[in-house]
């Protein structure tokens, strides 16, 4: 929730070595995963200066990440010799003129990566591993500009959302593989309430299933903006999550399918408060119910469905630890005090987590 620089980068060199895509694996093509009672944590990257809120899985390759000090990195899960050259290129320091970007979001689509960072002015880059090929494709000069999260529907169409600069949420969309971006007029978006914005905490303000899109807002008002058609038309739904202060509301949202969704948040300044900070929908986001009220985890910055779990299993993480639910969020088990900001599943028992000073592999058992 500050001013943003927004970076878009192509990683064709990586993709040439493996297929690219964000792997949530939510299609229930396998038997439902067994329930978990513990998590094993293996630290992959550790550095005192590391601060990561933006990660994505790159299929058959590993993990892509962006840092708060402007670095683009990769963790490779394959030790094959053909990866040696590209491994030596990372992490890559990214700068624009004299600006070192503070990244908060990352998306991968087809053979390109797209990144989002805090800074001013708001800029969109078509960014390549070859830093000499970087080009600015969007620039927004506004003192209130602050973009929080981004995602792609397919290889051509993507969206990024941010705090209001006028009387609606800031939404920019590309329909041409990131070459150009257009900011939606407030005439087609729901009007924002006073103090309503979004949080750049884990790059999970946006959830997508097919053409359907849900955007979570937070702050003094915390609602769901919904588009059934990849951002052409919009509706807005109220939620019962805790709200009313600048630090309250939804910090993360995920959908398992077009009906089942979950959101977490709370107030990071009162991280142990677990009242009205976990909500669930069974009707595609139209209505929401508070679950585990006053029990289970307090403030959490990221929630993700466990793949192939029939919308029953969830993992929520934050700087206070890792929590797991096997009954769609009704009850929760605290698995670890190890703190992280964001999480992405590799398969139905393994995930990557990133946060302050570390990136880890989580194995649920």
- Encode pLDDT of 294-307 as tens digits: 999 999 999 999 99
Paired with 356 in beta bridges are 51
Share of the chain above pLDDT 90, in %: 70
- Encode pLDDT of 314-324 as tens digits: 999 999 999 99
The lowest-confidence range among 97-111, 215-229, 230-244, 325-339 is: 97-111
pLDDT at 86: 75
pLDDT at 129: 66
Question: Does the predicted model carry a pTM greater than 0.85?
Answer: yes
- The answer to whether the Cα torsion of 351, 263, 246, 223 is positive or negative is positive
Task: Give the strands of the sheet with 223-227, arranged side by side.
Answer: 206-209, 212-216, 223-227, 235-238
Average confidence (pLDDT) over 209-228: 98
Higher pLDDT, 79 or 185: 185
The lowest-confidence range among 82-86, 163-167, 168-172 is: 82-86
Half-sphere exposure of 37 (CA within 13 A, CB side): 0
Average confidence (pLDDT) over 67-88: 82
pLDDT at 24: 47
Best CA proximity match to 218, nearest among 287, 260, 161, 270 = 161
**How far does Cα 30 stand from its chain's mean position?**
25
pLDDT at 128: 67
- Phi, psi (deg, nearest 5) at residue 15: -65, -30
Residue 8's pLDDT band, with cuts at 50, 70 and 90, is very low
What is the spatial distance between Cα 261 and Cα 255, in angstroms, rounded to a whole number?
4
- Encode pLDDT of 95-152 as tens digits: 888 888 888 989 888 878 888 888 678 877 776 667 777 677 788 889 999 999 999 9
pLDDT at 68: 93
Higher pLDDT, 1 or 273: 273
Say if residue 159's pLDDT is above 60: yes
Say if residue 15's pLDDT is above 70: no
- Encode pLDDT of 178-204 as tens digits: 989 999 999 999 999 999 999 999 999
Average confidence (pLDDT) over 230-244: 98
The lowest-confidence range among 25-34, 78-87, 153-162, 339-348 is: 25-34
Average confidence (pLDDT) over 334-341: 98
Best CA proximity match to 165, nearest among 216, 122, 103 = 122
Higher pLDDT, 311 or 91: 311
- Encode pLDDT of 263-285 as tens digits: 999 999 999 999 999 999 999 99
Task: Give the strands of the sheet with 302-305, arranged side by side.
Answer: 302-305, 314-318, 321-325, 333-336
pLDDT at 125: 74
Say if residue 16's pLDDT is above 60: no
Residue with tokens 């999480």: 343
Residue 155's pLDDT band, with cuts at 50, 70 and 90, is very high
Share of the chain above pLDDT 70, in %: 89
- Phi, psi (deg, nearest 5) at residue 315: -125, 130
Average confidence (pLDDT) over 58-78: 88
């Amino acid at each position: 929730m500050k001013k943003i620089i927004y970076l878009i980068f192509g990683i064709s060199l990586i993709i040439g070595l493996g297929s690219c895509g964000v792997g949530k694996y939510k299609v229930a093509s396998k038997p439902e995963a067994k329930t978990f009672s513990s998590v094993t944590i293996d630290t992959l990257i550790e550095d005192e200066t590391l601060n990561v809120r933006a990660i994505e899985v790159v299929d058959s390759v590993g993990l892509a990440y962006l840092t708060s000090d402007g670095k683009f990195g990769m963790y490779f899960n394959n030790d094959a010799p053909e990866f040696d050259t590209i491994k030596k290129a990372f992490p890559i320091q990214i700068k624009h003129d004299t600006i070192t970007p503070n990244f908060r979001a990352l998306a991968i689509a087809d053979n390109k990566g797209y990144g989002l960072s805090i800074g001013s002015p708001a800029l969109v880059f078509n960014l390549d591993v070859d830093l000499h090929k970087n080009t600015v494709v969007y620039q927004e000069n506004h003192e209130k500009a602050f973009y929080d999260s981004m995602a792609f529907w397919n290889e051509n169409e993507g969206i990024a959302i941010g705090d209001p600069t006028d009387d609606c949420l800031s939404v920019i969309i590309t329909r041409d593989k990131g070459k150009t971006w257009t900011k939606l007029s407030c005439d087609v978006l729901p009007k924002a309430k006073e103090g309503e914005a979004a949080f750049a905490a884990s790059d999970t303000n946006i959830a997508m299933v097919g053409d359907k899109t849900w955007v979570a807002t937070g702050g003094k008002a915390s609602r769901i903006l919904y588009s059934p058609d990849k951002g052409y038309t919009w509706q807005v739904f109220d939620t019962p999550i805790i709200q009313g202060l600048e630090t309250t509301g939804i910090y993360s949202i995920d959908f398992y399918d077009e009906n089942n969704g979950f959101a977490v948040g709370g107030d990071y300044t009162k991280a142990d408060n677990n009242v009205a900070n976990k909500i669930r929908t069974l009707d595609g986001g139209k209505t929401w119910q508070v679950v585990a009220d006053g029990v289970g985890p307090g403030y959490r910055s990221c929630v993700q469905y466990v793949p192939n779990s029939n919308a029953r299993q969830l993992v929520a993480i934050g700087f206070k630890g890792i929590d797991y639910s096997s009954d769609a969020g009704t009850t929760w088990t605290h698995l670890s005090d190890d703190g992280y900001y964001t999480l992405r599943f590799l398969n139905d028992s393994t995930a990557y987590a990133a946060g302050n000073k570390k990136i880890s592999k989580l194995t649920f058992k």
